[in-house]
Amino acid sequence: MDTSLLKSEITYKYVRSSGSGGQHVNKVSSKAALYFDLKNSNALTEEEREKLSEFFNTRLTKDGVLMLACSDSRSQFRNKALVTQRFLELIKEGLKEDKIRIATRVPRSVKKKRLKNKRINADKKANRKRPIIE
């Protein structure tokens, strides 16, 4: 996966950030919105696209476009850098191979220890009850 190819396929849109901020906030478009067309990407192989579409299944639009936004900073340039960094981290995480789990048995000593502790706790709680007098 080549990050420069991925970055070339990203489109940005700048909009006004929400929330309080005074007079300046209504004039400046500092929120950076990132759009990445996953379906039509040439930077990714078919298998990578399939894996990422499964990973981003709730974040993709109907057209297969991934949208991310950042309004953390007051600077448009900083927000663009942050949203690009998040995008690359998400792509890396989505393409990460899952480890194959090897099934193992629980050792006999561990089972014995657990049952012994259960017996100790049961006795401890049984001793708290009022004795039965006949």
Mean pLDDT computed over 109-123 = 97
pLDDT tens-digit series, residues 65-101: 999 999 888 888 999 999 999 999 999 999 998 889 9
What range defines the domain where residue 57 resides?
Answer: 3-94
CATH code at 84? 3.30.160.20
The reported pLDDT for the residue numbered 22 is 65
* SS3 call for 21: coil
| Residue 60 DSSP code | B
Residue 110 lies in a domain: no
Residue 70, Cβ density class (10 Å: 0-12 exposed, 13-18 middle, ≥19 buried) = buried
Three-state DSSP class for residue 97: coil
Strands (E), the chain: 10-15, 31-37, 65-70
- The 10s digit of each residue's pLDDT in 22-38 is 666 667 788 899 999 98
Whether the predicted pLDDT of 130 surpasses 90: no
The pLDDT of residue 16 is: 83
Does any domain span residue 119?
no
> Which pLDDT score, from 0 to 100, does residue 71 have?
86
> Is 109 part of a structural domain of the chain?
no
Tell me whether residue 20 is in a domain: yes
Is 108 a domain residue?
no
Q: Is residue 101 part of a domain?
A: no
What are the tokens at 76? Answer: 């448009």
Q: Which two tokens stand for residue 44?
A: 């990714």
Residue 36 lies inside a defined structural domain of this protein: yes
Domain count, the chain: 1
Is pTM beyond 0.75? Reply is no
Note the pLDDT of residue 117: 97
Q: What is the pLDDT of residue 64?
A: 86
In a domain, 70, yes or no: yes
pLDDT per residue over 38-52, tens digit each? 888 888 888 988 999
